[in-house]
Amino acid sequence: MYLERKKKDGWSPYLAGALVGLLAIASAWATTQFMGKTNYLGASTTFVRAAGLVEEGIAPEHAAGNVYFTKTKIKVDWQFMLVLGILPGAFIASLSDRSFKLEAVPPLWKSYFGPSVAKRALAAFCGGIVAMIGARLADGCPSGHGLSGLMQLSMSGFVAMACFFGLGILTAHFIYRR
Amino acid sequence: MGTEQILGLITGILFGFLLQKGRVLRFEKQVGAMLLKDMTILKFMLSAILVGMLGILFLADAGVFTISHKPMNVGAVVVGGSLFGMGWALMGFCPGTSIGALGEGRWHALFAIAGMVVGAAIYAELYPWLSNTLMTWKDFGKISLPSALGLSHWLVAVILWAITLLMFYFFEKKGL
């Protein structure tokens, strides 16, 4: 019983996190070795490239005229594949300990705001817009600024993480008050 | 797919696997941290940072690869970071974990992902204006914390290790 519960709980976050630390080192080395350029873990730039690819499909002239897309270069690069790879990685991990579960509304959200998928969808969609505008303005998310920035002791990483968590804590307490 | 894409894909699969095993992809874990009730994501992130820091500082010192700091542009990082925090609390995922959450079956993450793609498109429209306003306030450039403090990066690393281990001790003691 105890072992079964252990299995469902996954690995210790300290262990899984430490392994991500090793992965970050290995990946900085491997990208330098095989691509000639050191790449650090990150995710949010890929969302710009994804938006760019969509716009190239529906309004190519508009996308071509955008300075930010030109600057970011719309292409399926190393980070794009990294972000895509997270999906099968998480899928395999969740199958391996049977924690895969189809879920329409997160249980915590449901306990506060009910089972409406539309309500959750609207909140997640609006939150996503605000968060991504912020991440691009700050030039990174918890992966790029948080993990990679702090590993390199970047000043911007420390300030960004303080803002992420500072406003995150305030906003979460406002949303989930009572 | 070239070498670059294959390398990215392998790294991503391993990253996703570890994110899922650490259970940090869950909406409840992300919001739980912001409600100061469940520190799983902080334990995970800080462990990754402590371990990664040693290897990256050592290999950068040895000249194997170079450090690349993101610019410390005050307006951009503070305003952008704060907007991100607000959106993160509402969405319950960050960019990387939203994709992973979808992978473990939490398909409501699709709404967050769609919002983020739209947010990126909006940002691309706002960029010319922002780069002439907010981003012109004050830019310290690509600086590190040790250089700002005038300390050696190994000393800063030791201090951060000590602070983080104390935090871990506190989290475990309080059962967070």
Using the predicted structure, report yes or no on whether residue A21 has a pLDDT greater than 50: yes
Residue A118's Cα: distance from chain center in Å?
23
Does the beta-carbon distance from B4 to A79 stay under 8 Å? no
Taking the domains of chain B in order of start, what are their residue ranges?
3-174
Residue B16's Cα: distance from chain center in Å?
14
Interchain contact B61–A (C-beta under 8 A): no
B135/B129 Cα distance (integer angstroms): 9
What ipTM does this complex have?
Answer: 0.96
Interchain contact A64–B (C-beta under 8 A): no
pLDDT digits (tens, 9 = 90+) for A54-111: 999 999 999 999 999 999 999 999 999 999 999 999 999 999 999 999 999 999 999 9
CA B173 to each of CA B40, B89, B170: distance values in angstroms, whole numbers, following the listed order: 14, 26, 5
Interchain contact B7–A (C-beta under 8 A): yes
Q: How buried is B117 (Cβ within 10 angstroms: 0-12 exposed, 13-18 middle, 19+ buried)?
A: buried
Residue A2 to chain B, least CA–CA distance (Å): 18
CA angle A80, B30, A68 (to 5 degrees): 35
* Spatial contact of A18 and B43, defined as CB atoms under 8 Å apart: no
Interchain contact B164–A (C-beta under 8 A): no
Residue A40 to chain B, least CA–CA distance (Å): 8
Please give the structure tokens belonging to residue B102: 């979808």
Helix axes A13-35, B3-21, angle to 10 degrees: 170
A53/A57 Cα distance (integer angstroms): 6
Strand, coil or helix: B144: strand
A-interface mutation test, from B6, B31, B83, most A Cβ less than 10 A away: B83
- Count other C-beta atoms under 10 Å from residue A28's C-beta: 27
B44/B71 Cα distance (integer angstroms): 25
A38/B100 Cα distance (integer angstroms): 24
Interchain contact A58–B (C-beta under 8 A): no
Which neighbouring-strand residues pair with B139?
A: B73
Name the band, by pLDDT with cuts 50, 70 and 90, for residue A8.
low
pLDDT digits (tens, 9 = 90+) for B86-115: 999 999 999 999 999 999 999 999 999 999
- Count other C-beta atoms under 10 Å from residue A100's C-beta: 18
